[in-house]
Structure 1
Amino acid sequence: MDKKIGVIASDEELKSRIIELFRDDVQRGKIMIDVLDSDTIDEQGRILEGKGARAIIARSGGYKHTVGKVNIPVIHLNVTTPDIIQAIVTAKKYNKDIVLVISDLDYFDYDSWKDLMNANIILERFHSKDEIYERVLKYKDIKKEVVIVGGGIPCSLARKWGMDNVFINASKESIYEVMGHAKEVIDNLYEQKYNNTVLKTILDEVHDAVIVMNYEGKVRLYNERAMELLKKDREEIIGGNLSEVLPELNFIKDAFERKIDISNKIMTIKNITITVNTSILVMDGKTEGILCTFQDISNLQSLEKKIRHELNKKGLIAKYTFDDVVGFSHIMEEVVGKAKKIGQSDNTVIIYGESGTGKEIFAQSIHNISKRSKEPFVAINCAAISENLLESELFGYEEGSFTGARKGGKPGLFEIAHGGTIFLDEINSISYSLQGKLLRVLQEKETMRIGSDYVIPLNIRIIAATNEELKTMVEEGRFRKDLFYRLNILELHIPPLRERKEDILPLFKYFMGDIAKDLSYEVPSAIEEKLLAYRWPGNARELRNIAERYIIFKEIDIDSKEIHKNPSNIENDSICINLREINRYVEEKVIEMLVNQGMTKTEIANILGISRTALWKKIKSE
């Protein structure tokens, strides 16, 4: 803020004294001085204000003709008794009668000083500029017998008419004092203006409508949000009686009269459902008014939805813990115990398990028990999107790196997960080329956006999940060996539901209780036998679906092909099928057929989605 001070000096003598005392400030334009001019006295204050003055110092007539005509403070440079006495002492040297012409604003107890002055003093006081002229003019005809003592205008008139005169100058102490006061006033005004601006900005930026009513029932504050909700401008509300300008808010007046505070009360005004809070305003033990804040509930709901979306977007939080893992068998207790130990470490993890066994629940639980629990948890299903899209999701991209790239680029999930955990579900579905890029992230702890040459350092933990044995995929040339060993530091195997039959019935009843919390259901023994006989290819996810259907229809609908006739003898079944041998036989026949069609090894490898090296190994083993 420019803190310029304007001065209307009564005379050149006062101007010279101020320059002498504040030469640097005058030269730098911090103090601007105009000499009082009787012809433009009414305009001088406005001229200084127009030049940027934040406060004006004026004396006697200059003060009287400036105050109230400008929008900045006007500070009176008082004519003090010592100043007057000093001027009278100087005037006595003329050996004439002394005519003291001063404003009615200037205090001087003549009766107390006249005997000590040892001079004939005539006191002339004036109220306005026109009276100064009259007070001096009447001594024009006897100018040889008098000396005029006064401020700038009386002395200038005396000089004009050839009369002796003495200017009442201001002491250094008075000037220093008034300058200090002016600077303090400007500083205080700036502080007040700053605080008001901050308060107004805060009030206008908050989501709540804010209204203040004083003890007279008049609206004293009405913020931007209140205008938006009530569709009424500030000008027609501020200062008006609340009952007249905002009759729909009479509950505020009622709360004030009853001296009660409203807390989170829901009500409807103008077809808008709002939540209301009020607080009685008390100053020095006296009730001065009431503050009311209210908010459109639909906005609250939208805000909550947005926050929840942002927090859950891309799985940025892990909502499951080991308390959410439901298992009653000994084997599941061992798995949970091992997972908790894994959670205490910071190594890369591979979770093996069929679809529906709860791999992500374990991944989130491991994250929530780890030292990274306060950091992001980012999850992505690698099988759910195409290779190109998966790469851009994982690594991000720069603006213009490809057709359709978002303006400004986009951070990859590895970047977003920095400091936390990234969960790569169904990692076995990642293509061979993308596996190489993932390997670099694991080895170098850094990533690079598509289309960028800037390396971004990473601090993340990787938890991968697969429904297929990665070691077998390595042997078959479908998964990189080096990536496998980078990932295969810690392993967790979640057994399928058919291998822990003691969990089936407790889980079924647990799901029913979770779905229909207020109801209880008895499961007939025939249904239990059917549940135990079923192989559960969809595991716990499928079991929950069956429980949900049972609650509605009171029967279970499962694929009879997946039911064993004698579940108690399944482990002793004499039928033995080697799936690996079947797969190998099929591969050999497919490769043989493609070779016979005249295709090259490169073409065959591309069709099968494997490397030429892996293809060479398969042909060699035939």
Structure 2
Amino acid sequence: MQFSVQIQDILNEMNQGIIVIDKNSAIVFFNEEAADLVGFAESEAVGKHIMEVVPTSGLPRVIRTGKKETEKLFDLESNRKVRISRLPLFNKKKQILGAIALFSSVSDYNEEWFEKETMQALVEMLVQNIDAAISIIDEKGKSMMKNSAYENWADSMEEGVNEQLKVLHHKVLQTRRAHQYIKNNNQLSIKMNAFPVMINGKLKGSFQTVHDYTQLEKLQKELKGARSFIRALEEKYIFDDIIGRSPSMQIPLQQCRLASNNDYPVFIRGAAGTGKKMFARAIHNESNRKYNRFFVISCLDTSEKELEEILIGMVKGNDRKVAQAVYQKEWQGTVYLDEISCLPLALQYKLLSFLQCMDKKEKSFRNNVRIIVGSSENIEKALINGDFLEELYYKLNKISIHLPLLEERQEDIPQLTKKFVQLFNHDNARNVSVAQEVIEKLKLYSYSENVKELKAILQLSLVKLQKKEKVLGINHLCFIEKISTDNKELLPKKEDISEDKPLSLLVEEYEKIIIGKALTKNDGNKTLTAKLLGLSVRNLYYKLEKYGLG
């Protein structure tokens, strides 16, 4: 290995000591700074074995291992301390050629800092002031050091966990390998790590750390609960939160404002996804009941037994679990009965009884709950068929509000889109905007689930965006697959229906035949049948029972 004169001149100008050896550990370069620091003349050093010039040199080790050693403190024979880095030298074929040492004097070196007593005190101070629980034992299992965090933690733990601490140390001493123990349940969340202490290839003991995440897990659960509470607060709509600039939304909004000024029952009508529950919440939150609870009961999804308990409780103050919650004073707010047309006839009488008690304002009747109901079905049809009480119909219909379909309020689609994208940005720490062509496309789309479907389309589309993408384009749009209208085999044949019947009965017969054929097509699978017909599974079960198709 040889250096040109120019390279040697450059290396000699450097204010670092530089020693280069070949693969046989013979010195091939020894600059002036190295000569000064080592105390050996350059002319005498070149050609000699490195160990003859620097008896404790680590360069031969670097040739053996092929690994670099950086920023090490090193004592020279001249009683000078240097900071040294050693690097292997390779050719293009990755074959070892030799090694180089770069070192400089440590003028500000304080020897006291590196004395055994000082280092021991420093280590002990670090161990005692770290948050993690730390335990150190020697190779015989004798405890050498425990910090206060470890002792406090161990004192509070059950016997089984403390035993695991000893087991983990023992495994390390047996195997000379690191081991880990994790326990995570409702009461405790901990992670223990134990590592072998190796000095010059010899096992000197075991070093163990314990991280207790129990309190952190508890705080995370509380944070999750707080976020749920915040989301609940965000659902407390008022009229100003409702997007309704289109003419078709002005009348419903005016009616809702009037309804919030009195305690009459309110009947909100509208197809699925038009926002019936949101309007009910707004009426409650703008009324004098806003500081009381808003309680939602789905007549479609709640079991008949639960509905009966609630309604009995509202009338009699029954102390059953569900009914009691509604009857207690804290529930003297608003009860929203969704899909009222699905309320069984027997329970309609109980609801009517409750409303009559409210009208009479009987002294024994302490409950002061306001009733708002909603329906996506034609309630008049149920009334004609005898499935809905006429007296209850008139009791509930004192204030009737009809919500328009989304296609009847296309002017609101840009604002609704902006709102849903803002919610996405807030929840995902993004800053996404929407291309105008997307707005135009959304205006032309035919919605079967109205605003709910618009929101679902935007959510599906937004999750397709890559992190670097900032604009929701037409290529991102994911329209929800609709039930095909080409299923002609589901349509009733002319001979299946007698036309000499009232329209209401003809509609029911038509519906019964379509549901029956869809059920057959899907081999009785009710989930697939509901999907094909565009119904909820619950609604399908209701219709199957109604038409005796179960």
Give me the TM-score of the superposition, normalised by structure 1. 0.39
TM-score with structure 2 setting the length? 0.44
